[in-house]
Amino acid sequence: MSQQMTCKAEISRQLADAVWEVRLQLPQPVEFKAGQYLMVVMGERDKRPFSIASCPSNKSEWLLHIGATPDNSYAMEVLDKVRADGELEIDGPDGIAFYRQENTQPAVLIAGGTGFSYTYSILQQHLRLSPERPLTLYWGAKSLSDLYLHDELERLASQYEHFDYHPVVEDADNNWAYSIGLVHHAVMAREQSLPECEIYMAGRFEMIRVIRDDFVAKDVPLENLYGDALSFI
């Protein structure tokens, strides 16, 4: 159940050129489901959503991945508030696109940019509780430098037999071993049984709309698609 609370907050590390990890210390343990989000309360009518990047096993400390450039005041103002106040007022958890860990069909995670934080929470929960279930993570970004946990994901893919990691970038040199282009095009090219998969996705609304339309055209049932953006497009 969603609740409003004031948390201690700090920028714990810089993940990429324009991505920061924010660590929240909750005033009391709060349960959430992998793939849920919270709202940062900036004003009475100003609440800004961010996916919780943590594993649900950590009920007292939540992590956010916030992508912010100088021209993106929406996110930059949140980081400025963390730096200035050392705390954030949040409302959460919320969201209906959480991981259905009791299901057994293959799962596909699709992330664009910092939408990865949504899939990262799901991945951690998956590897902790059901690593025998086949799961593939597709992470799309402009370049390798934007895939800020790339090395960790490659390590996990080599460690867990049923986890596959496939990054997709728009621009790469000749040494790039993965796909180039749009992330969902790589999914359609590689997943031969896509209509039988459970698909979780996060990214810009425009991206999610295109994925939904292209996947439905490939006979993927709408009920197999999970993403909170689907409620708004």
- Written as one string, the DSSP assignment of the chain is --EEEEEEEEEEEEEETTEEEEEEE-SS-----TT-EEEEEEETTEEEEEE--S-TT-SSEEEEEEE--TT-HHHHHHHHHHHHHSEEEEEEEE-S----TT--S-EEEEEEGGGHHHHHHHHHHHHHH-TTS-EEEEEEESSGGG-TTHHHHHHHHHH-TTEEEEEEESS--TT--SEES-HHHHHHHH-TTGGGSEEEEES-HHHHHHHHHHHHHTT--GGGEE-GGGGT-
Whole-number pLDDT of residue 229: 93
Angle at 207 between CA 203 and CA 208, to 5 degrees: 75
Can you tell me the distance from the alpha carbon of 7 to that of 107, in angstroms, rounded to the nearest whole number? 33
* pLDDT for residue 64 is more than 90: yes
* pLDDT for residue 72 is more than 90: no
* pLDDT for residue 102 is more than 90: yes
* pLDDT for residue 174 is more than 90: no
Mean pLDDT taken over the chain: 96
What mean pLDDT do residues 69-97 have?
94
Whole-number pLDDT of residue 1: 73
In terms of Cβ atoms closer than 10 Å to its own Cβ (0-12, 13-18, 19+), residue 224 is middle
CB 7 within 8 A of CB 26: yes
* pLDDT for residue 233 is more than 90: no
Whole-number pLDDT of residue 82: 98
What mean pLDDT do residues 47-63 have?
97
Whole-number pLDDT of residue 146: 95
Query: What domains can you pick out in the chain, each with its CATH number?
Result: 3-94 (2.40.30.10), 107-231 (3.40.50.80)
* pLDDT for residue 217 is more than 90: yes
CB 214 within 8 A of CB 188: yes
Percent of the chain with pLDDT over 70: 100
